[in-house]
Amino acid sequence: MIIQTDICIIGAGPVGLFAVFEAGLLKMRCHLVDALPQIGGQLSEIYPKKPIYDIPGFPEILAHELVENLRKQIEPFTPSFTLGERVETLERLEGNSFRLTTSDKTEINAKVVVIAGGLGCFEPRKPEIQNLEMFEGKGVNYIVKDPELFRDKRIMIAGGGDSALDWTIYLSNIAKEITLVHRNESFRGAPDSAEKVVELAKEGRINLLLSTNLDSLKGNGVLASVSVTDKNKTVHEIEVDNLIPLFGLSPKLGPLADWGLNIDKSAIEVNTKDYSTNIPGVYAIGDINTYEGKLKLILCGFHEGAIMMQSAFRHVYPEQKLSFKYTTVNGVNAF
């Protein structure tokens, strides 16, 4: 599938979302791509229930409420989304447009690219086990995209947070055998889920290994067994088809580091005149850019988006003259 748009925005956090509004006022259409399965970036993924105090006009607003408000605010401009996919490559096409390709091979053609990627992509935190990478996709999965893939399989889940508990409960009805390995003696996740997991263990429906650490993996091409160490340092080898380590997400700059952009300490260098990068037609706004005096604040990202779209207009409508209009005079004209 090839998506055609004026502007492709990488990152659907608050800054990427608001940029759609600023583009919309100038009659430019946007498509947003985000590696996370939902919009909102850090605000949805890391701190949805935290109050934010420095959004102008809101003495206090919860992060998830701000995301919801932004979603509503950009609705008139009908942005389209590709969620749960990471942009892997950026190519310049003839006639000054770009082709972006995602991890799931979705193609997006755009006249302008805006990188609003925050701190990068949130990637699963990996445990330090030898040969782990060798078995990725060959028995080691960091996310459960389709639970049916685990039907009648012998599964080991590692971790003690909510997602480890929730997936253990969910997959206990699907998998043939489940072993949950947790480093500590007890769970600090949601008490209901923790209780349910302990109950499942008592009923013999799951194998619960507490105070136990992952040690090593074995298999000939595909994962065959995982060795774990208990608190007495005794090693147990457990035969499994899949290992699902669930240790949360951590941000990584990801593939855009190789696109030929000028990068300084994991941030993209921009010209503060219009937040353009060293590649004409590619802009960077929000936490992912850097310049003298940079402040990593949502409100600064909003400002950057407004300025940046004025410059992007020249790429999208090279023949037209831009006239600046206030929303108080002109309103918001939906597409």
Partner 1 sequence: MINFEVENSAGNQELIEVPEGIDLSLMEVLKGSGYPILATCGGMALCATCRIEVISGEENLPEPQDNELDMLDTLPDAGPQTRLSCQIKIGENLNGLRFKFLAE
Structure-block tokens of residue 285: 């706004």
Q: Which residues bind partner 1 (CB under 8 A)?
A: 42, 46-47, 50, 119, 125-128, 158-161, 164, 183-184, 187-189, 214, 245, 247-248, 250-251, 265-266
Kindly state the smallest distance separating residue 329's Cβ from partner 1, in Å.
38
The span from the CA of 224 to the CA of 4, in Å, is 44
Least distance to partner 1, CB of residue 56, Å: 19
Distance CA 180, CA 223 (A): 17
Taking the complex as a whole, the smallest distance from the CB of residue 188 to partner 1 amounts, in Å, to 5
Alpha-carbon Rg for the chain, nearest whole angstrom, is: 23
Nearest to partner 1 of 3, 300 (CB atom): 300
Burial readout 232-263 (b: 16 or more C-beta within 10 A, e: otherwise): eeeeeebebbbbbbbbebebebbbbeebebeb
Phi, psi of 58 (to 5 degrees): -120, 100
Residue 46 or 279 with smaller CB distance to partner 1: 46
Taking the complex as a whole, the smallest distance from the CB of residue 297 to partner 1 amounts, in Å, to: 10
Residue 324: is it exposed, middle or buried by C-beta count within 10 angstroms (0-12/13-18/19+)?
exposed
- Check if the beta carbon of residue 96 is closer than 8 Å to that of residue 281: yes
Quick one: 93 or 134, whose CB is closer to partner 1?
134
Distances (CA, A) of 68 to 71, 73, 74: 5, 9, 10
Nearer to partner 1, 33 or 119 (CB): 119
- Min CB(291)–partner 1 separation in Å: 19
Cβ atoms of 178 and 206 within 8 Å: the answer is yes
CB of 301 to partner 1, least distance (A): 14
Tokens of 103: 């991890």
Closer Cβ to partner 1, 67 or 110, answer by number = 67
Question: 74 vs 169, which CB is nearer to partner 1?
Answer: 169
The nearest distance, CB 186 to partner 1, in angstroms, is 9
Q: Decide whether 79 or 159 has the Cβ nearer to partner 1.
A: 159
Residue 50 vs 205, nearer CB to partner 1: 50
φ/ψ of 100, rounded to 5, equals -110, 140
Please answer whether residues 143 and 36 qualify as being in contact, where contact means their C-beta atoms are separated by less than 8 angstroms.
Answer: no
Tokens 């008490």 sit at which residue? 191
Q: Shortest approach of partner 1 to residue 57 CB, angstroms?
A: 21
Q: Does residue 265 contact residue 288 with C-beta atoms inside 8 Å?
A: no
